Amino acid sequence: MKQLWAPWRIEYILGPKPDACVFCLPATTEEDEERLVLYRGVRAFVIMNKYPYNNGHIMVCPYRHVMNLADLPLEDTHEIMDLIQRGTVILKKHFNCEGINVGLNQGQAAGAGIREHLHFHLVPRWNGDSSFIAVFDEVRTLPEDLRRTYAALRPYFCHEGEKA
């Protein structure tokens, strides 16, 4: 599918490719804004998708580097589900979306772009968001810059007293 406007992709196209897993976060939070990390929990975190399917496309990932859902301890899966639930509430509140796709692509055959590290997608949806542009020319439009969306969503994930 073609993209009408996605200036942030040039960094990926021209920039160096990571040697390490993009979902394995450093212990420090210094790079969180640059990496679009919205929230760090005890066992999982919430991050924006740098190459989104729709505005507000976020992901929930375990810190644990695993490929299969069955390999996660129950404590990890419980926190992930809590963050998915919290993410859906935040996306509905901020974007006033009419629906949310929540999904996991486990394995390359299932469409996982980064199959080595499990991650769940939350994609806001609106009735008619697949307009004639997408139908006739396989083009999607994203009306808001990623950094602006990050700045708008970050405060929702902060705890009281925590700096946004």
Catalytic residue numbers read 119
CA–CA separation, 112 and 148 (whole Å): 27
DSSP SS3 for 12: helix
**Residue 146 half-sphere exposure toward CB, CA atoms < 13 A:** 21
* CB neighbours of residue 141 within 10 Å: 14
* CB neighbours of residue 3 within 10 Å: 12
CA–CA separation, 11 and 3 (whole Å): 15
